[in-house]
Amino acid sequence: MTASRVRAERIITDAAGRKVKIPDNVSRLVTTFKPATLMVLCLKGADAFVGLDNSSRHDPLVLAVAPEMADLPGVGSKSSGINLETVLSLDPDLVILSYQKTDVQMADRLQNSGCPAVVIAPETFASIKQTLIMVASAIGKPRRADAVIQAMERVLARVGKRVQNLDPEERKTVYYAGPSGFLSTSPSGMLQDRMIHLAGGINAAHALHGHFKQISPEQLMIWAPESIVISPMSRLQAKTFINRRQFSLLPAVRENEIHVFPSSLSPWDFPSPLSVLGVLWLGNRLYAEQFEDICLIHEINDFHETLFDQSFTKMGGHLNDKMKRKDPAHPVRNQDVPGRNPGS
């Protein structure tokens, strides 16, 4: 921090338990991975950015909300690494990194260089809310965090109301194909496992533990999921796998219950407040009858209006959730069409 910007400071505790001294008013912000960028955008903090991760500079949602962010410097990424020199050259009041070991080490290096840095761990809905509160406090928008959390809770409550009375035998087994490939999946403890549960499903990989797990084709056949949901990053690889003869006996393939997580703007299976829309969408896809009174697009538009002051449709968003296979694509249901059956 330059001498010309010396100001009152306070201490916050980040997700790694680190005590970090930050300015009372954060006006120069750098984020180093997409969930952090989305958190700040949801809090209407776009004007504070001076740099961000490379991926977010090209993210359709980011550009729809704040097109000027395309011209900000990129500071690297979780996969390729964060450029320490670039970050320091931006003279930020605060840098937000992930909780991964290398990022915690980078946060310490930044801190030792006089640059306040915090790590966040938005891997559950509870921690997403905690992260919103912490980041909102840091950038001076505490009331905004309350509004976003309330919007999230409204969506989850509406889903819960419709799936809470499902009998155990009605709950479908769901296989989630993660962003690293079709045979990479999320075990218990990860956000996607919780999303499946809240949508009324049973995660096929729930008995596994840890971070993303690589499985064998044989294990997928043993699980025999009734529905397969795919991270958009694995769409092309998933198509190749699903058209293999050995998978044709899977209930999900046989019944054409194969879906790609939305959306065309930003993925809802990544940790952010938008993940609640992933729960709503998945519940709708698993149990269409329970969601007949809800217009999915209406709900999605309303949530985006609350967070970004413009609707999903106005941003040019679409679900983009169909898996193009040799078989016909899923038909569009009435509740997906704007203006049909708006629920209360």
pLDDT digits (tens, 9 = 90+) for 257-276: 999 999 999 999 999 999 99
Confidence of residue 337 (pLDDT cuts 50, 70, 90): very low
Residue 342 has pLDDT above 70, yes or no: no
Alpha helices in 164-320 (DSSP H): 191-198, 217-223, 235-242, 251-254, 275-286, 296-308
Sequence-ordered list of residues with C-beta below 8 angstroms from that of 27, at least 6 positions apart, any chain: 48, 93
Task: Tell me: do 133 and 69 sit in the same domain.
Answer: yes
Residues 129 and 160 in one domain: no
Single out the residue in 103, 123, 140 at which a domain terminates: 140
Q: What is the pLDDT of residues 323-335, one digit of tens each?
A: 865 544 443 344 4
In a domain, 244, yes or no: yes
* pLDDT value for 6: 55
Does residue 283 or residue 333 have the better pLDDT?
283
| 191 shares its domain with 244 | yes
**307 with 186, same domain?**
yes
Mean pLDDT (whole number) for 159-186? 96
Q: What is the mean pLDDT of the chain?
A: 91
61 and 123, same domain (yes or no): yes
Model confidence pLDDT, tens digit, residues 108-132: 999 999 999 999 999 899 999 999 9
Percent of the chain beyond pLDDT 90?
84
User: Do 73 and 155 fall into the same domain?
Assistant: no
- Is the same domain home to 202 and 296? yes
Banded pLDDT at 100 (limits 50, 70, 90): confident
Would 330 be classed as within a structural domain?
no
Would you state the pLDDT for residue 344?
34
Residue range(s) defining the domain that contains residue 150: 146-315
CA–CA dist 59, 53 (Å, integer): 10
Domain end (from 140, 157, 176): 140
Q: In total, how many domains does the chain have?
A: 2
Q: Do 108 and 241 have their domain in common?
A: no
Final residue of a structural domain among 88, 109, 140: 140
- 105 found inside a domain: yes
Q: Are residues 158 and 276 in the same domain?
A: yes
Question: Is there a domain that residue 334 lies in?
Answer: no
Work out the average pLDDT over 217-229. 98
| Interval 288-296 mean pLDDT | 96
Task: Give pLDDT, residue 253.
Answer: 95
**241: in domain:** yes
Q: How confident is the model at residue 7 (pLDDT cuts 50, 70, 90)?
A: low
Q: Say yes or no: 176 and 259 in one domain.
A: yes
Predicted confidence (pLDDT) per residue in 44-88, tens digit: 999 999 999 999 999 999 999 999 999 999 999 888 899 999 999
Cα–Cα separations (whole angstroms), residue 62 to 58, 140, 149, 265, 267: 8, 21, 20, 8, 12
User: Does any domain span residue 82?
Assistant: yes
Shared-domain flag, residues 306 and 171: yes
Q: Please name the residues in contact with 291: beta carbons below 8 A apart, sequence gap of 6 or more.
A: 162, 283, 284, 335, 343
Reported confidence tier of residue 234, pLDDT bands at 50, 70, 90: very high
Reported pTM: 0.89
- Give residue-wise pLDDT tens across range 23-47: 998 999 999 999 999 999 999 999 9
The enclosing domain of 245 has a CATH number of 3.40.50.1980
> Of the given ranges (1-5, 144-148, 181-185, 248-252), which has the lowest mean pLDDT?
1-5
- Specify if 329 maps to a domain: no
Closest by CA to 20, choosing from 127, 88, 118, 122, is 118
Report the first-to-last Cα separation within the chain, whole angstroms. 50
Same-domain status, 311 and 175? yes
Within a domain: 246 = yes
